[in-house]
Structure 1
Amino acid sequence: MSTSASPDPGTASASSVSRAQLRFDRGHTDELMAFLAASPSPYHAVANTAARLEKAGFRQVEETEVWDGTTGGKYVLRGGAIVAWYVPEGAAAHTPFRIVGAHTDSPNLRVKPRPDSGAHGWRQVAVEVYGGPLLNSWLDRDLGLAGRLSLRDGTSRLVNVDRPLLRVPQLAIHLDRSVTSDGLKLDKQRHLQPVWGLGDDVRDGDLIAFLEEETGLEHGSVTGWDLMVHSVEPPALLGRDRDLVAGPRMDNLLSVHAGAAALAAVAGGEGASLPYIPVLAAFDHEENGSQSDTGADGPLLGSVLERSVFARGGSYEDRARAFAGTVCLSSDTGHAVHPNYAERHDPTHHPRVNGGPILKVNVNNRYATDGSGRAVFAAACEKAGVPFQSFVSNNSMPCGTTIGPITAARHGIRTVDIGVAILSMHSARELCGADDPLLLASALAAFLEG
């Protein structure tokens, strides 16, 4: 049996893509690497996304204010989530939406409410496991600390200590000979607490006082925090031909970055004549179920879309018509065929890096794609001159899921699951092809244009 799958019918091979057809070039991948490095937390990711949209003419609207029905680009920020949309000239109240959905969070280690701990002369930071990280990837790695500080006056401040500050030290093989025969076994409570200094005098408030000093805040002004560790090793081009990208949080900031680039490009180009209202919805908390006010299973997207309809003078009937014609591409990273574990993949579906975005299918609705959704995505890829591949799980393996089925069920809108194929998903450092980010962004722009 062949070890690789044939390209999907009707699509070009990756080598035959004409770069002149693409909306984006390799500069997009360079921008992605900078975005990954500058976004160690969901809060930084949405702030950086908002800054890019602001340069494209978008403006922030507050959820507590009255919205108007004017044309142009607008966005809402809430915690680690952002929803942005562009209303073209002549848009009716019942004009459907074209949505790119993604998520801003990644599996990692997050600081507990009482962060200061230690033992045997080591000062440590108490952390909790967030999502489903590959735990071993966080060992013996130089780590920084980033996130959001909530202040006594009701405001918040982003913090990013982007230098070697913490480390989760692995036990030497001399003290655990069984690791060579039984494999590495980590207890999430006992073995993942990072060290960040020396001393027996561990006092409550040390870490927060340190962060107040780092950010120039008055001592005692921080009353709450949402903090997480991150690898300080920067993203890098990798390989003989520099055709791979290694970096953190590709799941799923790669899709957030591509969606923002596509939305900005569409709004700045043919925005005045768009037949749809293009939307970017980047949610938080996908890695632990999406059930929060900023998650895909929360009310944020539905509220924004409805208010947009009503602000343009629409009725409930207009809202129903708009939603009925809406399509969402749920963009999240997927699995490239692994050269060392090819038997874990479906034998006829082997997505390759730099082969174009993947269309995710699961007949048990772990992904939301159906045949009509495939047709929408195929049309967008054809318009953009982008190849695409199909992904299904091996029948003997459980299938992951995304915000796609949640979005479809909660809002009653047609949803298609897509993404970019990567290796080392949920590692502290993941791997993708250097061409795939720009291929995805080009396909998303074509989709948003309709």
Structure 2
Amino acid sequence: MSEPPRFDRGHTDDLMSFLAASPSPYHAVANAAERLEKAGFRQVAETDAWDGTSGGKYVLRGGAIVAWYVPEGAAPHTPFRIVGAHTDSPNLRVKPLPDTGAHGWRQVAVEIYGGPLLNSWLDRDLGLAGRLTLRDGSTRLVNVDRPLLRVPQLAIHLDRSVSAEGLKLDKQRHLQPVWGLGDTRDGDLIAFLEETAGLAAGEVAGWDLMAHSIEAPAYLGRDKELMAGPRMDNLLSVHAGAAALAAVAGSGAALPCIPVLAAFDHEENGSQSDTGADGPLLGSVLERSVFARGGSYEDRARAFAGTVCLSSDTGHAVHPNYAERHDPTHHPRVNGGPILKVNVNNRYATDGSGRAVWAAACEKAEVPFQSFVSNNSMPCGTTIGPITAARHGIKTVDIGVAILSMHSVRELCGVDDPWLLANSLVAFLEG
């Protein structure tokens, strides 16, 4: 295997821009759609009748996007090659009654979403972003990308035990951010966001809002071989999947399959929603694509039987300060190439035949890959992989990029790995 290029700075720069511009799942799918539209894809509505024409198409639903490219001459039973990912990240989300406070401080009431490293949210300048739903049922994205909120940590002088016993945070009492001074007024936060978004007072009827760190992604280290940034879990995979799908669609190559990007919401809390991997969205899109090309249920069954999905999510690089927490013989390193994730208890969906598919794609792309398994004494996380395999009956392989500080407000990866992942995804989607 030839030596791969170190990394493509243009790809990494674009990833950093994508992370910075995607503080919520709704922004992430809008940005992915914009990149796909530049590659010739067009949005189709789920409420419209679909045709069987060739070309790139995509569906947006909330914080999820499913995009696919039908090559010329694709038969109804042509199998799919799917890159699966998720758009959500652990964070602090605004409650239905957002305005709170005490002792002259104005605060925003938040709920913990997913499993964030809570201490990483302390003493950070935070913005606020998400989706506003208007009284007419339409939605508007909003992003206050400036210092607006802060979760202040208690001074050590008032808690001397923290040095000996460690930081202990109560999720209800200690994570409510401040955003001003004065008396709490009901409706104040939403009124502020209406003004920010250029909306009339009282126009907002609902909201899905979340805090985010406003610190920009950055190259890190003496030789800038590392990258620090927010929401790499799992917008790194969303970005790589969108880039790979656009590249395959624009290559003009004859394809034996239909390449797909499926980026779901709500992975961090179980995927059970209409936009999650455990919902009907992916199956509905794939089936409608088959039927729009004149296919039958038999064609659908044949297409699904030949389909393979790569569940692409971040994984754990070996931590230099906690190496004993990792399996002693599996030590994925940053900039060592993407990882194949294996768990025999089906926390990951990879089996031996799936490994062969992944190895072939990496060999074609001239990309090295590593293997990850959890330490037997540690619980193993999971992904959309087992859910996708079980729900749709399609072969699924779990892969990704090894990072540090997973679920922190700011994560760390090697600069080579996103580029190497994208190249391996291109080879996979080409079939």
Structure 1 and Structure 2 fold alike (TM over 0.5): yes
Please show how residues 426-437 of structure 1 align to structure 2 within 5 Å: 426-437=407-418
1:41 offset after TM fit, Å? 0.1
Please show how residues 111-190 of structure 1 align to structure 2 within 5 Å: 111-190=94-173
Say whether 1:17 aligns with 2:3.
yes
Say whether 1:388 aligns with 2:369.
yes
Flag as ranges the 4+ runs of structure 1 deviating above 6 A: none
Could you tell me the TM-score, scaled by structure 2's length?
Answer: 0.99
Q: What is the rounded CA distance, in whole Å, between the counterparts of 1:190 and 1:50 in structure 2?
A: 39
1:42 offset after TM fit, Å? 0.0
Tell me which residue corresponds to 2:27: 44
**2:388 match: secondary structure:** helix
Q: What is the rounded CA distance, in whole Å, between the counterparts of 1:131 and 1:215 in structure 2?
A: 27
Q: Does structure 2 retain, via aligned residues, the 8 Å contact 1:26–1:435?
A: no
Aligned-residue RMSD, C-alpha: 0.8
Please show how residues 19-418 of structure 1 align to structure 2 within 5 Å: 19=5, 25-199=8-182, 201-271=183-253, 273-418=254-399
User: Which letter does structure 2 place at the counterpart of 1:45?
Assistant: A
**2:380 match: secondary structure:** coil
1:260 offset after TM fit, Å? 0.1
**1:233 match: secondary structure:** coil
1:93 offset after TM fit, Å? 0.1
User: Which letter does structure 2 place at the counterpart of 1:225?
Assistant: W
Residues 213-261 of structure 1: CA deviation (Å, up to 9, x unaligned): 0010000000000000000000000000001000000000000000000
**1:44 match: secondary structure:** helix
**2:260 match: secondary structure:** strand
**1:161 match: secondary structure:** strand
**1:301 match: secondary structure:** helix
Residues 304-363 of structure 1: CA deviation (Å, up to 9, x unaligned): 000000000000000000000000000000000000000000000000000000000000
1:17 offset after TM fit, Å? 2.4
1:18 offset after TM fit, Å? 3.1
1:25 offset after TM fit, Å? 2.0
Tell me which residue corresponds to 2:403: 422
Residues 158-182 of structure 1: CA deviation (Å, up to 9, x unaligned): 0000000000000000000000010
Could you tell me the TM-score, scaled by structure 1's length?
Answer: 0.95
1:154 offset after TM fit, Å? 1.1
Identity of counterpart residues, as a percentage? 88
Q: What is the rounded CA distance, in whole Å, between the counterparts of 1:254 and 1:105 in structure 2?
A: 11
**1:254 match: secondary structure:** helix
Q: What is the rounded CA distance, in whole Å, between the counterparts of 2:185 and 2:105 in structure 1?
A: 13
1:270 offset after TM fit, Å? 3.1
Q: Does structure 2 retain, via aligned residues, the 8 Å contact 1:116–1:204?
A: yes
Stretches of structure 1 that go unaligned for 5 or more consecutive residues are: 1-11
Q: What is the rounded CA distance, in whole Å, between the counterparts of 1:373 and 1:81 in structure 2?
A: 25
Q: What is the rounded CA distance, in whole Å, between the counterparts of 1:380 and 1:437 in structure 2?
A: 16
User: Which letter does structure 2 place at the counterpart of 1:440?
Assistant: L
Q: Does structure 2 retain, via aligned residues, the 8 Å contact 1:102–1:403?
A: yes
Q: What is the rounded CA distance, in whole Å, between the counterparts of 1:370 and 1:26 in structure 2?
A: 34
Q: What is the rounded CA distance, in whole Å, between the counterparts of 2:8 and 2:405 in structure 1?
A: 25
1:203 offset after TM fit, Å? 1.1
Q: Does structure 2 retain, via aligned residues, the 8 Å contact 1:381–1:443?
A: yes
1:417 offset after TM fit, Å? 0.0
**2:48 match: secondary structure:** coil
**2:206 match: secondary structure:** strand
Q: What is the rounded CA distance, in whole Å, between the counterparts of 1:327 and 1:122 in structure 2?
A: 53
Q: Does structure 2 retain, via aligned residues, the 8 Å contact 1:102–1:283?
A: yes
Task: Kindly tell me the number of residue pairs found equivalent between the two proteins.
Answer: 431
Q: What is the rounded CA distance, in whole Å, between the counterparts of 1:54 and 1:98 in structure 2?
A: 20
User: Which letter does structure 2 place at the counterpart of 1:42?
Assistant: P
Q: What is the rounded CA distance, in whole Å, between the counterparts of 1:79 and 1:435 in structure 2?
A: 31
Q: Does structure 2 retain, via aligned residues, the 8 Å contact 1:358–1:391?
A: yes
Tell me which residue corresponds to 1:6: none
Q: What is the rounded CA distance, in whole Å, between the counterparts of 2:211 and 2:272 in structure 1?
A: 23
Tell me which residue corresponds to 1:9: none
Residues 403-437 of structure 1: CA deviation (Å, up to 9, x unaligned): 00000000000000000000000000000000100
Q: What is the rounded CA distance, in whole Å, between the counterparts of 1:344 and 1:56 in structure 2?
A: 43
Q: What is the rounded CA distance, in whole Å, between the counterparts of 2:3 and 2:8 in structure 1?
A: 12
**2:111 match: secondary structure:** strand
